[in-house]
Amino acid sequence: MSKIVRTALIMLCICGAPLYAKSKKNSAVSGDAGRLAAILADAQNTKVNFSGDAWRVTANEANALANRIYARSGGRAEARDLRTHVRQMHDAALKGDADGARSHAGMAAPFAYKLAE
The answer to whether 105 and 90 are in contact (CB under 8 A) is no
Per-domain boundaries in the chain:
27-116
pLDDT at 9: 53
Q: From the CB of residue 117, how many other CB atoms can be counted at a distance below 10 Å? A: 7
pLDDT per residue as tens digits for the range 28-65 = 788 999 999 999 999 998 887 888 888 999 999 999 99
Domain 27-116 has CATH 1.20.120: yes
pLDDT per residue as tens digits for the range 68-114 = 999 998 888 999 999 999 999 999 999 999 999 999 999 999 999 99
Phi, psi of 46 (to 5 degrees): -95, -5
The answer to whether 53 and 29 are in contact (CB under 8 A) is no
Give Rg (Cα) of the chain.
Answer: 20
- Is 3 a residue whose pLDDT tops 60? yes
CA distance 81 to 88: 11
- For residue 87, the one-letter residue type is R
* pTM, to two decimals: 0.75
CA distance 32 to 16: 25
